[in-house]
Copies of this chain bind each other. A is one copy, B any other.
Amino acid sequence: MPKVGMKEVRQQQVIEATMRCIVKKGLSQMSMKDIAVEAGVSTGIIYHYFKNKEDLLLQVLKESFRKSHERVMDTVEPLRQSREKLLKHLENINAVPKENPDFYIVLLNYLGQAPHNPEIHKIVTKFLSNLTSYANRYLSTDLTGGTFADVRLWHLPTILLALGMGLGIMWTLDRNSFSIEEMDVSLKDLISRYID
């Protein structure tokens, strides 16, 4: 077993175990012991790699958002046309809860903490504003030369994000609340009529 360069490996091991614990038991029901057992390490070693529980939880949130952002980029970024991007973005919104249901469970747990924990709050709002900016950027750069007025585009990124988050939460809580495939069609219809 290599003893050098283990830092990143161990940290990742613990972060991923923590995510699984959050999904299984919930952020506030999960103890450091739970995490240690899930990760297959001792409780002591966690404190070697993370300052304390608070610190670990922040790293987990960052990692979770990093992965999510990566997924968005991998899917949407390669596309050329912003119209294509928009439609892919809409598909993405719907796909996340189904393809990565754990993300929403983790997100919900942290959203509940955000109002009372400045650090978490900062990271969450940063993540949300990043997503908004991103949509804003490709809409404004590529579509401004188009036929529709700017003013309507102004709120579109926010609306898309809100819709995505709202639908994601609803579907995560109850998979029968709507069909993702059918909702996909409706959303494209809704947004197409808006921007055309």
Contact = CB atoms under 8 A, between A and B. Distances in A.
A90 interface: no
A69 to B, nearest CB: 17
Given A128-B173, A165-B166, A167-B162, A155 B115 contact: no
Contact of A115 (B110, B172, B189, B193): B172
Contacts of A158: 167, 170, 177-178, 183
B26 A177 contact: no
Contact of A159 (B109, B124, B128, B163): B163
Given A28-B28, A128-B170, A158-B183, A189 B152 contact: yes
A36 interface: no
A154 interface: yes
Interface in A167-195: 167, 169-170, 172-174, 177-178, 182-183, 186-187, 189-190, 193-194
Q: Describe A's contact surface by its main secondary structure.
A: helix
B170 A29 contact: no
Contact of A154 (B27, B117, B162, B186): B186
Contacts of A40: none
Contacts of A29: 116
A52 interface: no
A26 B172 CA distance: 22
A159 to B, nearest CB: 7
Complex A-B, nearest 9 residue pairs according to Cβ-Cβ distance, in ascending order: A112-B112, A162-B166, A28-B28, A166-B166, A26-B116, A155-B186, A165-B166, A162-B167, A125-B174
